[in-house]
Structures are given as C-alpha cells and as structure tokens.
Amino acid sequence: MKKKFFGIGMSAILCLSLLTGCQLGSRTTGLKEEGPVTVYAVDIDSQENQEVLQEQRDYELTEYAFIEDYNNSVDGSRKIEVQLFADAETMNQQIFTEVLSGGGPDLFLFRDSTLPYFQKYANQGVFADLDEYLQGSGYEESQFQQTVFDYGKVNEKQKFVPLEYGIPVCITLQSLAEEYGLDEIGEQLNYQNYYELLSKTNTMGIPILEEYEEYDFNLFWFSELDSFRYRMIPAFINEEGKTGKFILPMFQEAIENYREVVENQRGRDAFFTVFGNLKVSALINKSLLFYNDPIMSDTQLMNIFLDQYFSFAKDEKYKELLDDKPLIYPIREYNGEDYSAYVGRMMAINDNSTRKNKAWEVIDYALSPSFQNSGDSSTSLGLNPVSLEGQQRNKEMLLNINSEQRAIMKDFIDRYYELLNSVTKCDCLTYNSMYVQEVFDPLYVEYENGKKTLDEFVKELQNKTGLYLKEQN
C-alpha cells in the first residue's frame, strides 16, 4: 500500500533537531510578495518511482498533477514554481534544512507518505495559521466534512487543510451474504474481530473454482489485507509512555491470526495475482467474500465496482446478476467503535514565507467549488472531496444512470454516502509511514516469512518501537 521512498538516514536527521526541540530559524518578514509561489514535490512519474509503484500496485495521483491543474487555470504571473525531487527522503532533507534557517518552500502539498512528520511541523509552528485566510475567503465550517477538516487543527487553529479522504468499506453480493451469513458479519466488522467473525463461515482453506485451479489458491476472505495490519499498530502504541504494547498476549494473538489469513490466501498479494482489478468477477464466481478498500472514494466506487457490475450484467451468462444486489458495510477501527476517514493529500503554508497571500490563493483554488465539485475523471482530486457540495455533485453524477440501473443501485449509493459522513474520526491509514517502513514492516516480513519466531518478533518490535518513539521527542 505505501511507497518505500524513505531511508533510515532521514529519520536520524529529523530526530537530531526538529523532533528534539531545536529552535526553528527566524521568521522572514518581507512586505512585498514578489516572485512565484514555490512548492516541492516528489517526481512520482520518474522511471524509478514508477517501478516501485508498479511493484506495489499502488496507484496515487501525484502532487504534481494538482500543480499542473492549477497552473493551467491561472495566468503566468500566478503560476506555481515547482521543484521536483527524485524521492521523498531527498525532498524532506532539503525542507528540513531550509526550514531551520528560516526558508523552505512557500507552500506544502503533501500526504503522509511524502511528508511523514507533518504533524510535528504543525505542532512546532512551521505551518502558518490559516483561520484568517479561511474567514477572509468566506468559508464556513458547514461547507466541509467537519471531522475531516478538523484533522488539520492544532490547538483550535487550522494549520493545514485536508483536501480529500476515503473510507474503509467492504462490498459483497446478496447471494454470498445469504449463503455465508455475511450481512450480520458486515454489520459488526472491525479491524480486530474480522478473524473471529469470518472463521464462523467455515470457508478457510476451501479451494477456489476449478477454472482457477492452476493457482492453487483458496477462497479469499478479503481482496486487500494490508490495512488490517496497519490499523492494528496504533492500538498497541502507548504515545504517552513512549513504548509499544507488542508483548501483550492480545497483540500476539492478533498478529498470529493475521498471518494465518495471509497464509490461507497464499500471500498478501495473491488476490491480485489471480484477479487483478476484477473484483466483481471474484464475487460472482464465489471466490471472494468481501471486496474491501480502506480508502474507498466515490470515483473508485463507480470506476472499479459499478462499471464492472453492469458490464457483467450485460453478458447473457450473468444476466441474473441484476437480481443479486451489492451490499456495502463499514470496517470500523480496532476498538470496534470509531469509524475513521483516512486522509489523502493536504496543504499548508510555510510560516517562513514572504508570499503567504499568494500561497493562500492556491489553497483557495483547491477548496473552491470549481475544483472540489469537479466529480469526473478530469480532476486531479483523487479521493472524496472534503467539500459537502462537491460530494453532493458526485452523488448526483453516480445516480445519473438509466432507470433500471438506478433502481438497483440507489440504496447502495445512498448507503455509501451515509457512511461517508458518519465518520467519527480522521487519521492517516498508517500510524506513521516512516515508522511502518523502517520499524514495523521489516520485522513483520521476517516473521511472516518464518525467519523470526513470534517471540523474537514481538520482543524486537517492542524494543525498536520504544527507541523510535523516544527519538521523536
């Protein structure tokens, strides 16, 4: 799921100063906002990065796509000047060095995987307060999905702006729900109890249909598994005590269950090996119980699921599919109570900048109806807009289908948008992308591959997590 664009060196550099309380560089106070707004971005379109994305099958619209979109909409004097970097580690090293000396880009356009310490920047005054800009542009809280928008607040001050978000959902067909009792399971499902609930279906180890026999794979519980590992992590982190809780029997049982599911599905990537993006095909052939996505957007719902569904329904072989309605359920947090939105791209203004007003024009554009309401494939907004008006526009577009299709899908689409605005918290999908990449996942992979015992894994994880957390203060 997450791109491994960081190395250990970046963590060490950040920990030495910014995260240990070093004073930031003096603020610049120029009155004239001369020159273009500057922003840094990772060149994900580079051959090297494309190879990483291809290997991990991680599709994300780049930050540069938004910059191009903005520059194409304004005159030459307002265009953003972008500096591209080969990877996020190099970019963050330069940002860190420049910020400490009172410089840095005017504008931050980021996600957690490209600026993993954005919360530290927000807390330590690197990001400028945005409240006056929001008020001056006439924005009101009621215009936005408030739980998501408030994710950008620190001490009641808006320090950064989330532009987009997705929600964790799982989808099945009515016939599968009736056969395996999935409706009851779906209503209860969370990132902790999935193993217990799905075990009751007695489907673990059942081979998939004969036409896929060459793969020697079993029936898949889920189309995606990484999120179950990611959302396990924060439940066993003690932020105040700066330690993990990975030696607890509860964690050991949880990680053993997760590994068993991975092994039963013949690996975390096995579903993609067999079906690729053909999720509906897997459901129709009863080779998959739940198509799940931790950051499902309305455009994904249309482009990946609904288009496939109606495409199959046109085939005489699958004409009965129209009587087999899709059902959608939330996947709640590990505590079984919260339902989280997971944020995508975010924006902030450098408090060092002498071009804050110009930088705000870019954020204003990103929040404007002309951008947030553009619910079609031409927009560089990759997930659900944080604007409620934009969401309504997208919903209307989803329902703008023929009467037969609308009769089938209206309840399904209504339910999705109900879930979209029933979130109780907002977070990044991973606890901390650098921690996951440098500490948790390398140790877990060794455990998954049998190179470490469970006892070795949890003890080393406990030790390295404590060291990592203490270095961040």
Please state the three-class secondary structure of 321-389 as a single string: HHHCCEEEEECECCCCCCCEEEECCEEEEECCCCCHHHHHHHHHHHHCHHHHCCCCCCCCCCCEECEHH
Q: Is 4 inside a domain boundary?
A: no
Residue 18, in any domain of the structure: no
Statement to judge: residues 266 and 335 lie in one domain: yes
Q: Quick count: other Cβ atoms within 10 Å of Cβ 180?
A: 19
Question: Is 410 inside any structural domain?
Answer: no
Q: Is 145 found in the same domain as 184?
A: no
Confidence of residue 7 (pLDDT cuts 50, 70, 90): very low
Residues 183 and 158 in one domain: no
H/E stretch holding 16 reads: helix 8-16
Q: What is the pLDDT of residue 128?
A: 98
Asked whether residue 9 is domain-assigned, the answer is no
Q: Has residue 420 been placed in a domain?
A: no
Q: Which residues fall within 8 angstroms of residue 448, CB to CB, at 6 or more apart? A: 259, 262
Cβ 289 vs Cβ 198: under 8 Å: yes
The pLDDT value recorded for residue 25 is 40
My answer on whether 171 and 304 are in the same domain is: yes
Q: Model's pTM, two decimal places?
A: 0.88
Q: Please state whether beta strands 288-296 and 220-222 pair in parallel, antiparallel, or not at all (unpaired).
A: parallel
pLDDT at 244: 95
Interval 12-41: pLDDT, tens: 334 434 433 444 443 444 456 788 999 998
**Bigger pLDDT: 214 or 389?**
389
State the average pLDDT for the chain. Answer: 86
Distance, in Å, from the CA atom of 235 to the CA atom of 254, rounded to the nearest integer, reads 11
- List the domain range (segments joined by +) for residue 276: 166-339+429-471
Kindly state the tokens that stand for 145. 């999905």
Tell me, yes or no, whether 335 and 206 share the same domain: yes
- pLDDT on residue 318: 81
What is the pLDDT, as a whole number, of residue 377?
A: 47
Query: Would you give the end-to-end CA distance of the chain in angstroms?
Result: 28
Q: Angle between the 356-367 and 63-71 helix axes, to the nearest 10 degrees?
A: 100
Residue from 329, 383, 338 nearest 231 by CA: 338
Question: What's the pLDDT at 58?
Answer: 45
Number of domain units in the chain: 2
Judge whether 181 and 201 are in contact, CB under 8 Å.
yes
Strands (E), 152-253: 153-154, 157-158, 161-162, 164-173, 220-222, 237-238, 243-244
Structure confidence at residue 399 (pLDDT): 86
Average pLDDT over residues 51-62: 50
**Over the stretch 320-379, which tens digit does the pLDDT of each residue have?**
887 889 999 999 999 999 999 999 999 999 999 999 999 999 999 999 988 887 655 455
Please report which confidence band the pLDDT of residue 473 belongs to, taking 50, 70 and 90 as the band edges.
low
212-268 pLDDT, tens digit per residue, is 556 667 899 999 999 999 999 999 999 888 999 999 999 999 999 999 999 999 889
Given the structure tokens 């947090």, which residue do they identify?
333
Residue 205 shares a structural domain with residue 265: yes
Q: Would you say residue 298 has pLDDT above 70?
A: yes
Whether residue 188 sits in one domain with residue 79 = no
**Residue 199 and residue 328 share a domain:** yes
Q: Does 404 reside within a domain?
A: no
Q: What percent of the chain has pLDDT over 90?
A: 58
Residues 153 and 251 in one domain: no
How far, CA to CA in Å, does 196 sit from each of 50, 192, 225, 250?
Answer: 38, 9, 15, 13
Residues 91 and 119 both lie in one domain = yes
The mean per-residue pLDDT over the stretch 184-190 comes to 97
Q: For residue 51, is it within any domain? A: yes
Do residue 101 and residue 244 come from a single domain?
no
CATH code for the domain in which residue 66 is found: 3.40.190.10
DSSP code of residue 302:
I
Helices (H), 28-141: 47-56, 63-71, 88-100, 118-123, 131-136
Residue-level pLDDT at 379: 59
Predicted confidence band of residue 289 (pLDDT cuts 50, 70, 90): very high
- Looking at the fold, whether 64 and 170 belong to one and the same domain comes out as no
